[in-house]
Chains A and B, each alone.
Chain A
Amino acid sequence: MNFDFDEDQRLLQKTARDFLEQRAPLSRVREIFESDALLDADLWSGVAEMGWTGAAIPESHGGAGFGYLELALLAEETGRALAPIPFGSSVYLVTEALRLAGSDEQQRRWLPELAAGRRIGAFAAAEGPGGHVAAEPGVEWRDGALHGAKEPVLDGAAANLALVLARDPSGGRVLVLADLQANGAKNEPLESLDPSRPLARLVFEGTRAERLQGDGAALLARLEDRAAILFAFEQLGGAQRCLEEAIAFARSRYAFGRPIASFQAVKHQLADLYTAVELARSNCYYGAWALHAQSDELPAAACLARISATEAFEACSQESLHLHGGVGFTWEYDCHLFLRRSKLLSLALGSTGRWKDRLVALLDEAA
């Protein structure tokens, strides 16, 4: 058994961390957070130059050809840094959809563009309050064109290539690709809980869009499973960072003549958070393996990674803020950036309740 990343992969991770610490410290994240910018454009091109946006894209399609294990570690680092870029939307969702169900022609056309970061993808699936993907999409795809509104769309305003969940004239769900650069959709910003990851409403009035291959509903499920694992690494990175910040703060903050870290109540809290992060980490690794090995276990592995990483990040972001006391509740401290990102990521791909129901259904099928 060898259930860990190898030395080269760890080296790549270290390079990524150093790069992000330099180019995207939290002070930079905050600049984007407090501005109207749709993304950190410099960081985006930097990340693309490093090959991250094409990490899992084969070299024949302009990618770096690293693979999923490498991509997972890069995801962890972008999560740790709270990188204000549409990495997940473009890389785990739109790129993956093309890899799963793009025709040869579509892959040839779009993958090199996505790998180079010239194209930014967004996943337009929700339609108002309710499921993170519309259960019965109102947006219609007929005669090769889209009609209707998707809202909210994560990174929707920064994107120029949208993967849209729509309904075809027979009422079936289809996933289609819309080139927003060529024949735009109207986009309207929607105030985001995490302004470093903006939301938008995309309104289609006859926007041309081309269908991906295969059955829409089945593709959606496969796509979400894969993306869930990569998002889980992002969440894991965020959770780990919160935990580290909480520990550092608890060591230096004194009350009652001693560091608050010396109170058993605080130690137990931190020990519980650590435990949650480590269990999530193990489940995430399993997910990365399943992605890498194209295993049949992937759907269940996705549930494990998604549920444990979402819960770990939520707990770490809430409790790290809490451990900071009054300063944690200020705009000036960074605790709320993590609280907001954690919540947004937990919403972006469906609640833990949804993933738990899916997990039990899978276990039931397997039994």
Chain B
Amino acid sequence: MAAKVINVDGADHTLDAAPDMPLLYALRDDLGLNNPKFGCGVAQCGACMVLIGGVPTFSCVTPLADVSGPITTIAGIGEPGALHPIQQAYIDEATPQCGYCISGWMLRAVALLKEIPRPTDNDIREAFAGLKCRCGTHMAIMRAVKRAAGLAP
């Protein structure tokens, strides 16, 4: 065990945890957050996604020791009182079914829209490769990303 300070959605937390423990368990178990989620534990789905220094990262395979940089979860992508456009678009398009997958999709979308503000269908398809949505909400995700980009879905 070793003390480690991480910054999550703007707040510092001191953890007393094994350095090889994946960040996911620090967020869920030590900080008691509801997001991100455990989906696979092997970097195959995106349920555990967080931004570290703005980069979408699978927290399930990121040892605590390797965390350097502020962590953003989907709770932290909007401004207080104002949702991020992708959050609003997710609501407007009624995108989630179970919604267990949304950390991966929304945080990749945040990064995508920063890099390509007006993505094409193909940009979106490629940016989301590797993410899973078992409920099959892919069509609604596509519409939500376009809506968030200000493009007609």
Q: Do these two chains interact?
A: no
